[in-house]
Amino acid sequence: MNAYQKLEATHKRLSALRNAEGILFWDHETMMPSGAAEARAEVEAELSVMQHEIQTDPATADAIAEAEQQREQLDPWQQANLREIKRLYRHANAVPADLVEKMVHARHEATMVWREARPANDFKRLAPKLKALFDLKREEAGIKAELFGITPYEALLDQYDPGRREVQIDAIFDDLAGFLPNFLQQVLEKQAQGPAILQPQGPFALDKQEALSRAVMEVLDFPFDRGRLDVAAHPFSGGADGDNRITTRYEESDFTASLMAVVHEVGHALYEDGRPKDWLSQPVGNSRDMTLHESQSLLLEMQAGRSEAFIRHLAPIIRDTLGGSGPAWEADNLVRLQHKVAPGLIRVYADEVTYPLHVILRYKLEKAIVADDITIDDLPGAWNEMMQRYLGITPPSDTDGVMQDVHWPEGLFGYFPTYSLGAMAAAQIFAAANRAVPEIMPGLAEGNLKPLYGWLDTHIRSQGCLYLPDELIERATGEPLGTAAYKAAVTARYLNN
């Protein structure tokens, strides 16, 4: 085995462990009996230690150096694989072991306290834990920034969206922050003048909702022979290579929540399912990180799934499966229901117009913290002030304000931007696909996704990590990531309809 082959063997092993973890995690969330949690935690911890040992094996550094000497003997996929292997190795080895350990501890502490502080609306209790964690994240960011020659915030972001620059995000988010508040007012005024939006009345039996999920997944060509649908308290898409499992939860009073959540998760699952078959066990065969992942879920949910053509196709399926009738169940109303815009306190319930404002707020606060421009104690005030400025509402409590997400207590710093960068990418990729393939929209109108998927397979799904995210987007759409397609799409949908 030469040095490159050794690296492939190492990653094949890591991949096996990650696949095992994937099924164990799915099982944990869907099937595992509650009393098994403690024993399972031991198993998960040991598998995680094994991966860490492999990732930080000093022999890997030598193998990478040696493989880079023989770079010209590698084909383009192998070269990209080597680049990704090196990137992962640098991330895993940049931070000293004692800092990693402190971070695990601080994350655990912050998450535990958050679970109690949030319902008690007691930010003061969370603050010291959050401060301890943020101090460690700043330390991590400083070390990586120095090592990688990027800014500290980019160093955090790099795990979720490799190669992304702050100046790009600033440009995109400043553009949106200028555009959206005013646009939102226009949409709300137009909406207020339109017909009333009727909410179909429940209860909706859970088995019928599940039947609806499966019917919609059939329309979306979800490969049930290589995946599953199950129920979980916290929906996710996961599983293993060639075995992409999505989960959802049903609310008896409202079927619309899970309906589009399922479409969203199918987008994630199809991205995984379309990864390059020959490279499943190698880094270059991975999906291209979080911005691209979110682009694929949002493309299916927001761009294709919420297109008027597709909702009209779904309308009779929804009616027949749930047994609804009356004006609330007419296609016109179901379209309006899926296009309803309303500023709200909670990010995860936000529509596609207000969502980026939630993210921009978090991005600005994260940057201010990394730059030491504000303190932890300033966070609730800064949060509420920005909510008022962007969305015209002030949270009545920190419970539904600064403490609403688990991300910060979990140490997910630099992650939020990928949600809205993903939304921008979704619009831009969908627009490019439509320019290239005129059959896409007529297809959606009759529930035929093949024209769309054909283009996505070629330009996104099959590309794995052959390119960095921005290069992948630019190759697929012909331009760098920007806001134009998103603004055009929401303008067409919410003002010019």
- Just list the catalytic residues: 265
For residues 145 and 149, give the distance between their C-alpha atoms in angstroms, rounded to a whole number: 5
Q: Establish whether 21 is an annotated binding residue.
A: no
Binding mask 231-250 toward a second copy (x if CB under 8 A, else -) reads ---------xxxx-------
For residues 98 and 136, give the distance between their C-alpha atoms in angstroms, rounded to a whole number: 11
Task: Identify which range of 90-98, 193-201, 220-228, 436-444 contacts a second copy by CB under 8 A.
Answer: 220-228
Of 181, 202, 223, 276, the residue at the interface with a second copy (CB under 8 A) is 223
C-beta closer to a second copy: residue 52 or 475: 52
CB atoms within 10 A of CB 116: 11
User: Which residue, 393, 406, 391, is CA-closest to 356?
Assistant: 391
Binding mask 258-297 toward a second copy (x if CB under 8 A, else -) reads ----------------------xx----------------
Rounded least distance, CB 273 to a second copy, Å: 10
Q: Is 454 in the site for a second copy (CB under 8 A)?
A: no
Among all chains, which residue has been given the structure tokens 């192998």? 78
C-beta closer to a second copy: residue 40 or 249: 40
For residues 112 and 116, give the distance between their C-alpha atoms in angstroms, rounded to a whole number: 7
Q: Is 75 in the site for a second copy (CB under 8 A)?
A: no
**Residue count, binding to a second copy (CB under 8 A):** 36
Task: Identify which range of 18-26, 151-159, 174-182, 200-208 contacts a second copy by CB under 8 A.
Answer: 18-26
CB atoms within 10 A of CB 89: 20
Bridge partners (DSSP) of residue 227 are 244
For residues 452 and 443, give the distance between their C-alpha atoms in angstroms, rounded to a whole number: 8
Q: Which two tokens stand for residue 248?
A: 């959802």
User: Which residue, 386, 395, 384, 297, is CA-closest to 346?
Assistant: 395
Rounded least distance, CB 44 to a second copy, Å: 8
Rounded least distance, CB 8 to a second copy, Å: 13
CB atoms within 10 A of CB 209: 24
For residues 444 and 309, give the distance between their C-alpha atoms in angstroms, rounded to a whole number: 6
Binding mask 311-330 toward a second copy (x if CB under 8 A, else -) reads --------------------
Q: Establish whether 339 is an annotated binding residue.
A: no
Q: Is 98 in the site for a second copy (CB under 8 A)?
A: no
Integer Rg of the chain from CA: 23
Q: Establish whether 407 is an annotated binding residue.
A: no
Task: Identify which range of 10-18, 63-71, 128-136, 350-358 contacts a second copy by CB under 8 A.
Answer: 10-18
Task: Identify which range of 7-15, 89-97, 320-328, 398-406 contacts a second copy by CB under 8 A.
Answer: 7-15
Binding mask 31-70 toward a second copy (x if CB under 8 A, else -) reads xxxxxx-xxx-xx--xx--x--------------------
Strand 227-231 relative to strand 243-248, pairing: parallel
Q: Which two tokens stand for residue 20?
A: 């095992």
User: Which residue, 310, 273, 308, 300, is CA-closest to 423?
Assistant: 300
For residues 382 and 161, give the distance between their C-alpha atoms in angstroms, rounded to a whole number: 26
472 near 432, Cβ under 8 Å? no
C-beta closer to a second copy: residue 224 or 349: 224
C-beta closer to a second copy: residue 46 or 62: 46
Of 2, 5, 16, 253, the residue at the interface with a second copy (CB under 8 A) is 16
* 229-231-233 Cα angle (round to 5): 140
Q: Which two tokens stand for residue 26?
A: 């799915």
For residues 411 and 94, give the distance between their C-alpha atoms in angstroms, rounded to a whole number: 17
Of 228, 249, 407, 487, the residue at the interface with a second copy (CB under 8 A) is 228
C-beta closer to a second copy: residue 271 or 419: 271
For a second copy, the binding residues (CB under 8 A) are 12-13, 15-17, 19-20, 23-24, 27, 31-36, 38-40, 42-43, 46-47, 50, 223-228, 240-243, 280-281
